Amino acid sequence: MKDIVAIYPGSFDPVTNGHLDLIHRGSKLFDRLIVAIARNMDKGEPLFTMDERKEMLEAMTSELDNVTVDIFDGLLVHYCIQKNANAVLRGIRAVSDYEFELQMALMNRKMEPRVETVFMMPAEKYSYLSSRIVREIARLGGPLTGLVPEMVEERVRRKIAQKQSNVTTMHLKRRAKS
C-alpha cells in the first residue's frame, strides 16, 4: 500500500484546541501529516507572525512523530505536489462550514485531480470554536480556558497587551505633536 501524505492547511492565528483535535485525528489516519500555515491571506492584520504560529504549532505537536509544521506560499495544490502529498485534510464543524469547504475542495480538485480532500469532524465541544472568536474574546478580555492550550493563551494575552500598548503610545505621540 502506498504512503498517504496529507496536508492540513490553514491560517492558525492562533492554533486552537479544535485544530489540535483534528491534528491528532489526522495523525492516526495518515502516514504523514504536514500542518501547513498559509502566507498572504486576505484576512486583515494577523495577530501572530508566521514564525510565531509555526513555533506554537511545533510545540503543541512535538509528541506526534508523523506530524511536521511548515509555511507555504501560493496555491495549496502546488504545495501538495511539491510535497508529494495525496490528500488535504480539512475540518468541518457545522453545516455553515460546508458551502465554503465544498467550493474549495472542488476547485482544488479541478486544478489538481491527483489530490483528494478529506473532511473530518472535531469533537462536538469544539464545534463553536475558531481562531477569529479566540482573537475577539482575548481582545475584549474574556476567558480563553479550554479554547486554546495554556501556552497559547499566555502568548495571546501577551501579544494583545503588547498591541494595545503600541496603540496607546502612538496616540500619546500624536497628541504630543498636535
Active site amino acids: 19, 43, 93, 131
Q: Which is nearer to ligand PNS, 71 or 170 (CB)?
A: 71
CB of 108 to ligand PNS, least distance (A): 5
* Binding flag, residue 127, ligand PNS (CB under 6 A): no
Q: Is residue 120 within 8 Å of 97, Cβ to Cβ? A: no
Regarding 108 and contact with ligand PNS (CB under 6 A), the answer is: yes
Cβ-based neighbours of 80, under 8 Å, separated by 6 or more: 7, 86, 88, 112, 115
Cell of 62: 512535538
Read off the amino acid at residue 68: T
Candidate list 71, 107, 133, 172; residue touching ligand PNS; CB under 6 A: 107
Residue type, 163: K
- State the minimum distance, in angstroms, from the CB of residue 134 to ligand PNS: 12
Is the Cβ of residue 94 or residue 167 nearer to ligand PNS in the bound state? 94
State how far the Cα of 76 lies from the Cα of 10, in Å rounded to an integer.
10
Q: What is the DSSP letter of 125?
A: G
76 lies in the site for ligand PNS, by CB under 6 A = yes
CA distance 168 to 173: 9
Q: What character string, x for contact with ligand PNS (CB under 6 A) and - otherwise, covers 23-62?
A: ---------------x------------------------
Stretch touching ligand PNS by CB under 6 A, among 46-54, 100-108, 140-148, 164-172:
100-108
Q: Which residues contact 107 (CB under 8 A, 6 or more apart)?
A: none
Q: Assess 10 for contact with ligand PNS (CB under 6 A).
A: yes
